[in-house]
Amino acid sequence: MAKIITFGIQKGGSSKTTTSGIVAHLLSENHRVLAVDMDSQGNLTELLTQRDIYDFHKQTVFEALQVQDARPYIHAINDRLHILPAEDHIARFASWLYSPSTAYKGNKSLVLMETLEPVLDNYDYIIIDTPPALGEQTLNALAAADIVVAMFEASKFCYSALSRFLETCVHIQELVNREMQVAGILRCMIDVRRTDNKALIELVEEEYAELCFKTVITRTAATGRLSINGFNDNPELKQAVAQYREFVEELIARV
């Protein structure tokens, strides 16, 4: 049965999508992986498929959520890596969920979990990317997870968001999914030339020593260009994902 790993923080620009995409790619070298895009921007979809998100119109995670069945909406990227894509319409998820006409009457935080249940035996890992907000999309992604990775970009706003995100995870554990665990905090998008970045990294390590992954991801141009060059026929790929290989080893050890 698949291990479900959700990457999240309610702050944009924290490398959730890049990390989700690279982790899904690296795990798929030896495992069967499903990537799930829960963000209406559809950036994970675009990163992994190198296609326009509107190519998947009405064949996305939003349609899967409405019928609680992922199977008809999964697209193969290659033999070991599949995706449940997203486009703009998933922004309507909350309004659909609370509409009086909606047929779904179950726990509103468990729609994604129920949607993924039919495919759990088809994969070793399911990687979920989340939007930069604590709305229904993120809450469902947390409730479906076995493992959560909190993303930390070295900024004051992300530092402020981190404690609230971890508190939300505790609430999900207590009220919805007691099996969910926070694997740790991944510190990323670090500019080694900036003293404020270094100070924030050290502050987070002081406050959350047991949660912090040892791997710290620094900014590199090759990683930044992944959204342009993708994972196929990319001469910079080895350099772009090198730091993340260490993180994946840590993550699997914690999982």
The tens digit of pLDDT for each residue in 206-240 reads: 999 999 999 999 989 999 999 999 999 999 999 99
Q: Domain 3-254 is of which CATH architecture?
A: 3-Layer(aba) Sandwich (3.40)
Q: How far apart are CA 98 and CA 94, in angstroms?
A: 6
Contacts for 33 with CB less than 8 Å, ≥ 6 apart: 24, 27, 80, 81, 82, 123, 124, 125, 126, 127
Query: Rg for the chain (alpha carbons), in Å?
Result: 17
What is the structure's pLDDT at 224? 92
Using an 8 Å Cβ cutoff, are 248 and 23 in contact?
yes
What is the structure's pLDDT at 198? 83
pLDDT digits (tens, 9 = 90+) for 71-112: 999 999 999 999 999 999 999 999 999 998 887 889 999 999
The domain locations on the chain are 3-254
List the beta bridge partners of residue 129: 7, 37
Alpha-carbon distance values, 151 to 10, 97, 162 (Å): 9, 27, 8
List the beta bridge partners of residue 148: 6, 182
Q: How far apart are CA 147 and CA 70, in angstroms?
A: 20
Burial 204-232 (b: 16+ CB within 10 A, else e): beeebeebbbebbbebeebbeebeeebbe
3-state DSSP call for residue 196?
A: helix
Q: Can you say how many angstroms the Cα of residue 192 is from the centroid of all Cα atoms in its chain? A: 25
Q: How far apart are CA 207 and CA 187, in angstroms?
A: 13
Task: Identify the band that residue 176 occupies on the pLDDT scale cut at 50, 70 and 90.
Answer: very high
- Mean pLDDT is lowest, of 75-84, 111-120, 169-178, 184-193, for 184-193
Task: Identify the band that residue 153 occupies on the pLDDT scale cut at 50, 70 and 90.
Answer: very high
Q: Can you say how many angstroms the Cα of residue 99 is from the centroid of all Cα atoms in its chain? A: 27
Alpha-carbon distance values, 217 to 15, 23, 45, 197, 223 (Å): 10, 13, 22, 12, 10
Res. 192: pLDDT tops 80: no
What size, in residues, is the chain?
Answer: 255
What is the structure's pLDDT at 193? 76
Tokens of 5: 């790993």
pLDDT digits (tens, 9 = 90+) for 119-142: 999 999 999 999 999 999 999 999
